[in-house]
């Protein structure tokens, strides 16, 4: 009996797709999502996607919509299939049949500065507090927090190097002085525990050779929010939303915030003007300048 475990073979199409994504510096998470979504289409098709027809692509979208697939999910599937058809298969005729659905973006939950302080104080250990502080203090995405390395800290220029941001883009994020103090404290504690290495992950997981996963980070922030008695729905991205909103309310130029967040388009950053309530309150209405009404008549809310 042969006791050698056979190596699972990857189909030529799947390997070519992986190569195309790697060549374009797609993050591991994006590659995983694209493979999952394309496999979903292949399962529906019951054969290799390279044999699909334009009518089948159209029918797939209709049936997914009828099955109640959420708009954001469907748009991600469309992005994955569009990449497959245009870049890997060179089938632009199929890509033209893919339709992105307009999705009204909901106003995100944003924490007040007092709530952020309570949340960070409610973490159960120094590593968790440092990880959540990076998300809020530098405005990083959860995947960016997860993949930070010790060598990404540039204390001389007070920057965090984000090597593989969204879309594989590189950028520099801010490194506040208070965050640097906290990270140095975590470094000393981590070294004593034997989990920190100069060339290792900034936030190692249970196995120091791999980083804390995005799922673990999400669980950490949810548990901290519960411990801090915060009733809003909180996730790791809430800290990024709060970072951008608080900067906007403090008068930081929106283009600077765009660069700090790593947004490719300004209109993505401009969305935060809808949640920056302090900015709205700071604006004087032209009606008030007319001075027609006095404040001694009581208020509508009490």
**Residue 34 falls in the annotated catalytic set:** no
Selecting among 272, 278, 281, 289, the annotated active-site residue is 272
176-206 pLDDT, tens digit per residue, is 999 999 999 999 999 999 899 999 999 999 8
What's the mean per-residue pLDDT of the chain? 84
The H-or-E segment that residue 160 falls in is strand 159-162
**Residue 237 falls in the annotated catalytic set:** yes
What span, in angstroms and rounded, lies between the C-alpha atoms of 77 and 80?
5
Selecting among 97, 127, 141, 246, the annotated active-site residue is 141
Quickly state the pLDDT bin for 3 (edges 50, 70, 90).
Answer: very low
Is 12-95 assigned to CATH 1.10.150.130? yes
Q: What pLDDT is recorded for position 146?
A: 92
Q: What is the DSSP letter of 51?
A: G
Quickly state the pLDDT bin for 42 (edges 50, 70, 90).
Answer: very high
What span, in angstroms and rounded, lies between the C-alpha atoms of 278 and 236?
23
What span, in angstroms and rounded, lies between the C-alpha atoms of 31 and 18?
7
Quickly state the pLDDT bin for 1 (edges 50, 70, 90).
Answer: very low
CB atoms closer than 10 angstroms to residue 206: 8
**Domain limits of the chain?**
12-95, 113-281
User: Coil, strand or helix: which one is 192?
Assistant: helix
Selecting among 127, 240, 241, 246, the annotated active-site residue is 240
pTM of the predicted model over 0.75: no
Provide the sign of the torsion angle of the four alpha carbons 282, 237, 80, 31, taken in this order: positive
**Residue 233 falls in the annotated catalytic set:** no
Q: What pLDDT is recorded for position 6?
A: 43
5-36 pLDDT, tens digit per residue, is 344 457 899 999 999 999 988 878 889 999 99
CATH topology of domain 113-281: hpI Integrase; Chain A (1.10.443)
Residue 4 scores a pLDDT above 60: no
What span, in angstroms and rounded, lies between the C-alpha atoms of 276 and 247?
9
Picking from 23, 41, 26, 31, the residue whose alpha carbon sits closest to that of residue 78 is 41
Selecting among 40, 149, 197, 237, the annotated active-site residue is 237
What span, in angstroms and rounded, lies between the C-alpha atoms of 265 and 185?
36
Q: In what order do the strands lie in the sheet with 159-162?
A: 153-154, 159-162, 171-174
87-103 pLDDT, tens digit per residue, is 999 999 999 999 888 76
Selecting among 263, 265, 278, 281, the annotated active-site residue is 263
Residue 139 · residue 274 · CB < 8 Å = no
Selecting among 127, 128, 166, 246, the annotated active-site residue is 166
């Amino acid at each position: 009996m042969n006791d050698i475990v056979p190596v699972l073979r990857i189909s030529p199409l799947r390997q070519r797709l992986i190569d195309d994504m790697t060549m374009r510096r797609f993050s591991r998470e994006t590659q995983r999502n694209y493979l999952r979504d394309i496999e979903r289409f292949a399962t529906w098709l019951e054969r290799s996607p390279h044999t699909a027809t334009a009518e089948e692509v159209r029918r797939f979208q209709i049936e997914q919509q009828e099955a109640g697939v959420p708009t954001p999910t469907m748009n991600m599937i469309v992005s994955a299939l569009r990449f497959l058809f245009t870049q890997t298969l060179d089938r632009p005729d199929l890509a033209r049949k893919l339709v992105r659905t307009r999705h009204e973006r909901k106003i995100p939950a944003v924490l007040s500065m007092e709530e952020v302080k309570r949340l960070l104080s409610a973490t159960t250990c120094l590593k968790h507090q440092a990880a959540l502080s990076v998300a809020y203090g530098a405005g990083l995405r959860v995947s960016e927090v997860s993949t930070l390395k010790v060598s990404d800290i540039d204390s001389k220029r007070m920057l965090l190097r984000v090597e593989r941001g969204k879309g594989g883009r590189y950028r520099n994020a801010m490194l506040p002085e208070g965050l640097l103090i906290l990270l140095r404290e975590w470094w000393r504690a981590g070294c004593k525990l034997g989990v920190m290495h100069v060339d290792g992950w900034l936030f190692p997981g249970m196995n120091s050779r791999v980083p804390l996963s995005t799922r673990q980070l999400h669980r950490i922030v949810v548990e901290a929010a519960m411990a801090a008695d915060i009733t809003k729905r909180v996730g790791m991205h809430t800290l990024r939303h709060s970072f951008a909103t608080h900067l906007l309310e403090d008068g930081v130029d929106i283009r600077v915030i765009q660069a700090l967040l790593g947004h490719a388009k300004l209109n993505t950053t401009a969305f935060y003007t809808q949640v920056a309530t302090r900015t709205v309150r700071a604006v004087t209405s032209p009606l008030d300048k007319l001075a027609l009404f006095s404040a001694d008549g009581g208020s509508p809310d009490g």
